[in-house]
């Protein structure tokens, strides 16, 4: 077969199939396959500046200031110097660019660390050491024990018998138990013979790169024969070689084509809801500013026509001014420049500083430091902190995220005998305690010294050679998840052929021989006891096979494995022939411990109205068992719905049936949501929250989810799932996890958070508004792709309810105050325009305009935004209901912005007319007038600073020494700077720059000055104090009531509630102690033989 014929066609149509030849780089290079380097960094040295500037100018405010800068370069309209805008703009862009560069340098370091790892490559008959990034498709590489797999490779040979290779897939799927791969016989014969490996020229035709971790199809063409390739022959990048001295592999997929990278998703530039809101508000301000400038320009036109004629001798027009209309047009742009401080560029510098500071709080939090691994919490981004205070949906992986992913043998039942409980002579079954004596396994040199078991009767049965105990443990030692199926055929020394099987009691129980009925009843009672302790169970059985029958069956099995069409169905049919009339041996009870504090954390998050969805690739029963143990599902729920249809029609019917039970009116045309959808709104549109008539849960499998995520059912899925208190999605692919998160993002006005620990969680971590990576047993890829990294799931409640809520509250206070103080500052010019002929004359000294945001008012607002707390961390966790305002964005929204605007307009009115009235027709003690422009300017700016300082003291609820220094120190610093800028020395040295000679000492000693300040403060603060007093009385909200309760508790302390142990319910039992592959043909995955064991209110409806 000539592979090169396909080359030109593939380049035009995209890669549909992959063709490669071993040990032939020249040939493989014709297809343009990527090298093995990976790139998670966003920038390079060449594209950093243009890309970063492009991203920064996506902020409307930055684009707005660039436009202002261009205006200020026109001397005919510029009323302020150009550097007053360009310097702050450059500072803002530079600070943000440096921060982004530092973040990206870290990504580059991580990429370089991975790309420069060493690997052994077969080159020209020799094994040479090369870097990962230099490996190419078609290379043969050597991997040794405990090494990470470099690329997706076809296993050729290994040091183990039958060319088996044991791998750990924790980086891919979070599973720490070992799995096995096996080379095909034609290549395994090469072993580690470099001559044979170098001469190997097999050609591979296989599927194109995709994200299916558990699927691979291909054909190896070697020496004129074709050999079928499947997933069991492929070792994926990111796996770790275990218990295998060496193995050789042919590189199939490299770099971005590897399955782990195909599942990693695209990096997106994440921006918070407040960032989007600020863009809208800047647009509003821009329109408001344009309207004000237009009105002021019209005023100037009218004034020039009616009054300006009489001032021509004193204020002649410039040569380029030909008419009042042209003069008004120039004045429009002059006012546009003067009033630009309504959106000061220092706003964005302050926002970045606040976010950076709150990120440090997360990194420094000792209560999120995991001492066993010496790992702190880590804010890997500084741009999403306030978003942590607005989360509504949490999407969590299961294994390794909610659980410890450490399996511990706890109890078992063997031939009807219960092992694992500890008995007292004078009392029934008792709890195991640390005082109990452990079984001494010193007689067994291979025993794990860390393993604890307390029932000596089992050890005694082993020592005396009990036949059933021996057969039971022989089954466990041979039939485990290292074997590709949960079954194994064994030929004993006595030439007996035994089939050992292990699996769910709901399935295995139906495959037992009728003679096992009484033993099955006893074992099922034991299984119920195991379940009452929250243990995960498996049933164990065996069958002795006739030699002739086995030979016939083995031939059928080989033929099924080589079939090109419907291979899986053929294999399943063959398995069904042998998996029957099994003899029951017993059952195991395995403890997969939850991480510490997981149930309590989920209870707390539920009280905060945060919904938890578990998205897992695990089996349904395992996921449901964990959901109950974690309090995602509760026995008190009205019903738990299972969606398991295998076509669109069935899935749609199941979803509508569930929605009808939760909210019957939701199927009527009169329902508000249906009425809204009937209008066929243009996407993107948001679906409002719907309230169910009870407490419900939802379970949906990955196969059904594939149908539900199609266009005509996705809204049905969303509406049904979002009304449920808890949702479990099982048997999911990494891509489906991302699709579910994207679905909620698309149609719900809510902040989403995804948390996971493995590479299979990377997609959803990147798609969610906030991605949290767990750094634990499962590698680092999820953490490296995350926005925040934690060591334990329980730290999530502190991240959200403490740091997130504080960050959100602080940011909202900051924005409200910042907009207010700048409206009050800027709009004074509008009132002054009526007394200055609309001439674009500024009220303030130029230096005051320059320093107002950068010096005089910057530190107090930063102190508020970095240190303020409405309640401390203890009360934040004790009353999770305090979190709810952030989910609805109550503290800063368009309505709150309008309040800031109105408050600013009122304050500017007071700040202009109170000083105006104070100095009108006033004179000093010596009879001289004080109503000159410079004295008036000083009065206005001093009153303004005093007013905004008092305003921030009213906003501050938690005072620290730093807050006092920042607030009062800034006001004192203003007066110090005032005397310096208005000193005789500066004004005489630079008369064109410093023009307020002696104004400070002449004005500050006037009683009218301080009367003006006091009146301005009183009049500006009266509405604020009145509103704060009346709001709880006339417009109370739940948070105000909780704050009152907290204040009451602070005055009358109560003991902290005692934590009680959460009990497991006996009606639940997981039938899976490990993650499995197919096992028992298609029975496990089909669910056709599953039985329901749950009463109505406690669990699931019956399955047929």
CB 590 within 8 A of CB 410: yes
Catalytic residue among 397, 529, 761, 787: 397
Query: Which among 946, 917, 930 is positioned nearest to 824, based on CA atoms?
Result: 946
- Find residue 491's DSSP bridge partners: 497
Q: Distance of CA 417 to CAs 75, 348, 471, 519, 527, Å?
A: 97, 70, 14, 10, 12
Quote the CA–CA distance of 614 and 623 in Å, as a whole number. 8
Quote the CA–CA distance of 1010 and 1016 in Å, as a whole number. 10
Residue 395, exposed/middle/buried by CB under 10 A (0-12, 13-18, 19+)?
buried
Element (H, E) at 627: helix 620-629
Question: 413: number of CA atoms within 13 Å, CB side?
Answer: 24
Query: Which among 675, 811, 805, 689 is positioned nearest to 749, based on CA atoms?
Result: 689
Quote the CA–CA distance of 715 and 720 in Å, as a whole number. 8
Directed axis angle between helix 648-662 and helix 714-722, to 10°? 30
Reduced to 3 states, what is the DSSP secondary structure of residue 788? strand
Quote the CA–CA distance of 913 and 328 in Å, as a whole number. 26
Query: Which among 132, 89, 383, 433 is positioned nearest to 254, based on CA atoms?
Result: 132
The two three-digit tokens of residue 928, written as one number = 């001289």
CB 249 within 8 A of CB 153: yes
Quote the CA–CA distance of 940 and 918 in Å, as a whole number. 11
Query: How is 668-730 classified by DSSP, letter by letter?
Result: STTSHHHHHHHT-PPSS--PPP---SS-EEEEEEHHHHHHHTSTTTHHHHHHHHHTSSEEEEE
CB 235 within 8 A of CB 776: no
Is 397 designated active site? yes
Quote the CA–CA distance of 1102 and 1094 in Å, as a whole number. 8
Q: Distance of CA 551 to CAs 497, 546, 557, 577, Å?
A: 11, 9, 10, 13
Reduced to 3 states, what is the DSSP secondary structure of residue 1097? coil
Residue 375, exposed/middle/buried by CB under 10 A (0-12, 13-18, 19+)?
middle
The two three-digit tokens of residue 399, written as one number = 């294994």
Phi, psi of 263, deg, nearest 5: -95, -5
With tokens 């971005």, the residue in question is 256
Directed axis angle between helix 933-955 and helix 894-919, to 10°? 140
Through-space distance between the first and last CA atoms of the chain, rounded to whole angstroms? 50
Phi, psi of 631, deg, nearest 5: 75, 15
The two three-digit tokens of residue 260, written as one number = 């782990």
Quote the CA–CA distance of 193 and 273 in Å, as a whole number. 60
DSSP code for 148: B
Q: Report H helices in 724-872.
A: 734-747, 762-767, 781-784, 795-798, 805-826, 828-833, 846-851, 858-867
Report the 10 Å Cβ neighbour count for 223.
8
CB 208 within 8 A of CB 122: no
Quote the CA–CA distance of 624 and 1100 in Å, as a whole number. 10
The alpha carbon torsion through 758, 764, 768, 771 (nearest 10 deg) reads 10
Residues counted in the chain? 1104
CB 765 within 8 A of CB 754: yes
Catalytic (active-site) positions: 397
């Amino acid at each position: 077969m000539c592979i090169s014929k396909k080359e030109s066609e593939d380049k035009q149509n995209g890669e549909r199939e992959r063709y490669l030849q071993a040990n032939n780089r020249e040939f493989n290079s014709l297809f343009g396959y990527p090298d093995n380097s990976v790139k998670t960094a966003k920038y390079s040295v060449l594209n950093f500046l243009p890309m970063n500037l492009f991203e920064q100018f996506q902020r409307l405010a930055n684009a707005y200031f660039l436009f202002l800068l261009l205006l200020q370069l026109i001397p005919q309209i510029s009323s302020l110097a150009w550097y007053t805008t360009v310097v702050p703009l450059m500072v803002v862009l530079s600070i943000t660019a440096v921060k982004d560069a530092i973040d990206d340098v870290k990504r580059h370091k991580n990429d370089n660390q991975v790309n420069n790892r060493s690997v052994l490559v077969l080159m020209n008959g020799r094994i040479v050491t090369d870097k990962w990034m230099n490996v190419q498709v078609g290379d043969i590489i050597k991997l040794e024990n405990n090494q990470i797999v470099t690329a997706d490779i076809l296993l050729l040979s290994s040091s183990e018998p039958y060319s088996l290779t044991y791998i750990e897939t924790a980086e891919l799927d979070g599973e720490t138990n070992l799995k096995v791969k096996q080379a095909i016989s034609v290549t395994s014969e090469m072993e580690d013979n470099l001559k044979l490996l170098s001469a190997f020229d097999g050609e591979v035709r296989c599927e194109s790169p995709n994200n299916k971790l558990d699927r691979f199809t291909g054909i190896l063409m070697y020496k004129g024969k074709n050999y079928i390739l499947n997933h069991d022959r492929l070792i994926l990048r990111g796996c770790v070689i275990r218990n295998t001295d060496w193995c050789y592999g042919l590189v199939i997929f490299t770099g971005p084509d590897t399955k782990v990278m195909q599942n990693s998703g695209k990096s997106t530039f994440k921006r918070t809801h407040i960032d989007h809101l600020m863009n809208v508000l800047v647009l509003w301000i821009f329109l408001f500013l344009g309207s004000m400038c237009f009105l002021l320009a019209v005023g100037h036109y009218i004034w020039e026509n009616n009054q300006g004629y009489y001032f021509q001798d004193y204020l002649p027009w410039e040569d380029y001014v030909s008419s009042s209309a042209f003069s008004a047009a120039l004045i429009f742009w002059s006012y546009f420049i003067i009033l630009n401080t309504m959106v000061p560029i220092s706003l964005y510098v302050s926002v970045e500083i606040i976010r950076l500071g709150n990120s440090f709080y997360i990194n420094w939090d000792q209560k999120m430091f995991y001492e066993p691994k010496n790992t702190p919490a880590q804010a890997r981004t500084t741009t999403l902190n306030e978003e942590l205070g607005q989360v509504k949906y949490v999407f969590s992986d299961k294994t390794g995220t909610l659980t410890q992913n450490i399996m511990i043998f706890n109890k078992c039942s063997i031939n009807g005998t219960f092992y694992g409980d500890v008995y007292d002579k004078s009392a029934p079954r008792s709890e195991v305690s640390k005082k109990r004596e452990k079984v001494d396994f010193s007689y067994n040199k291979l025993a794990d010294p860390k393993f604890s078991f307390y029932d000596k009767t089992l050890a005694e049965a082993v020592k005396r050679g009990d036949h059933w105990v021996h057969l039971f443990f022989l089954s466990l030692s041979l039939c485990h998840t290292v074997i590709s199926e949960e079954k194994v055929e064994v030929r004993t020394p006595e030439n007996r052929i035994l089939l050992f099987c292990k699996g769910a009691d709901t399935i295995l129980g139906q495959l037992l021989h009728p003679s096992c009925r009484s033993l099955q009843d006893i074992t099922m009672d034991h299984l119920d006891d195991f379940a009452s302790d929250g243990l995960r169970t498996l049933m164990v059985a065996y069958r002795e096979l006739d030699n002739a029958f086995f030979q016939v069956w083995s031939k059928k099995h080989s033929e099924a494995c080589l079939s090109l069409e419907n291979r899986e169905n053929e294999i399943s049919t063959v398995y069904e022939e042998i998996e029957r009339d099994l003899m029951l041996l017993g059952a195991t009870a395995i403890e997969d411990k939850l991480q510490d504090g997981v149930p309590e954390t989920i209870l707390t998050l539920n009280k905060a109205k945060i919904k938890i969805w578990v998205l897992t690739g695990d089996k349904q029963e395992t996921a449901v068992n964990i959901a109950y143990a974690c309090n995602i599902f509760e026995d008190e729920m009205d019903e738990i719905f299972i969606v398991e249809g295998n076509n669109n029609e069935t899935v749609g019917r199941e979803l509508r049936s569930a929605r009808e039970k939760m909210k019957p009116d939701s199927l009527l045309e009169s329902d508000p949501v249906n009425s809204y959808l009937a209008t066929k709104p243009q996407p993107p549109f948001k679906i409002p929250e719907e309230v169910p008539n009870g407490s419900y849960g939802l379970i949906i499998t990955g196969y059904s989810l594939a149908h539900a995520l199609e266009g005509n059912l996705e809204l049905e899925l969303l509406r049904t799932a979002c009304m449920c208190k808890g949702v479990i999605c099982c048997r999911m692919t990494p891509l489906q996890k991302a699709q579910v998160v994207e679905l909620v993002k698309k149609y719900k006005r809510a902040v989403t958070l995804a948390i996971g620990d493995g590479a299979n969680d990377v997609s959803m971590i990147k798609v969610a508004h906030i991605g949290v990576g767990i750094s634990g047993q499962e590698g680092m890829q999820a953490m490296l792709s995350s926005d925040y990294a934690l060591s334990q799931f329980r730290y999530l409640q502190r991240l959200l309810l403490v740091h997130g809520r504080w960050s959100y509250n602080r940011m909202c206070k900051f924005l409200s105050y910042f907009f207010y103080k700048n409206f009050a500052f800027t709009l004074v010019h509008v009132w002054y325009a009526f007394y200055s002929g609309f001439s674009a004359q500024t009220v303030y000294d130029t230096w005051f305009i320059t320093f107002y945001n950068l010096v005089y008012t910057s530190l107090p607002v930063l102190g508020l935004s970095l240190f303020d707390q409405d309640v401390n961390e203890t009360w934040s966790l004790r009353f999770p209901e305090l979190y709810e305002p952030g989910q609805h964005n109550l503290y800063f929204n368009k309505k709150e912005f309008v309040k800031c605007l109105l408050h600013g307009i009122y304050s500017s009115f007071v700040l202009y007319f109170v000083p105006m009235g104070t100095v009108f027709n006033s004179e000093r003690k010596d009879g001289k007038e004080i109503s000159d422009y410079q004295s008036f300017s000083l009065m206005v700016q001093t009153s303004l600073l005093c007013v905004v300082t008092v305003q921030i003291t009213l906003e501050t609820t938690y005072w620290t020494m730093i807050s006092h220094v920042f607030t009062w120190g800034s006001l004192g610093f203003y007066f110090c700077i005032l005397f310096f800028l208005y000193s005789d020395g500066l004004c005489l040295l630079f008369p064109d720059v410093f023009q307020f000679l002696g104004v400070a000492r002449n004005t500050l000693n006037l009683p009218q000055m301080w009367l003006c300040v006091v009146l301005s403060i009183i009049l500006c603060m009266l509405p604020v104090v009145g509103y704060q007093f009346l709001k709880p009385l006339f417009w109370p909200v739940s948070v105000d009531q909780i704050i009152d309760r907290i204040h009451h508790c602070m005055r009358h302390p109560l003991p902290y509630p005692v934590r009680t142990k959460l009990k497991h319910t006996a009606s639940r039992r997981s039938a899976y102690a490990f993650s499995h592959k197919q096992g028992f043909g298609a029975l496990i995955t089909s669910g056709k033989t599953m039985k329901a064991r749950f009463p109505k209110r406690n669990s699931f409806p019956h399955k047929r």
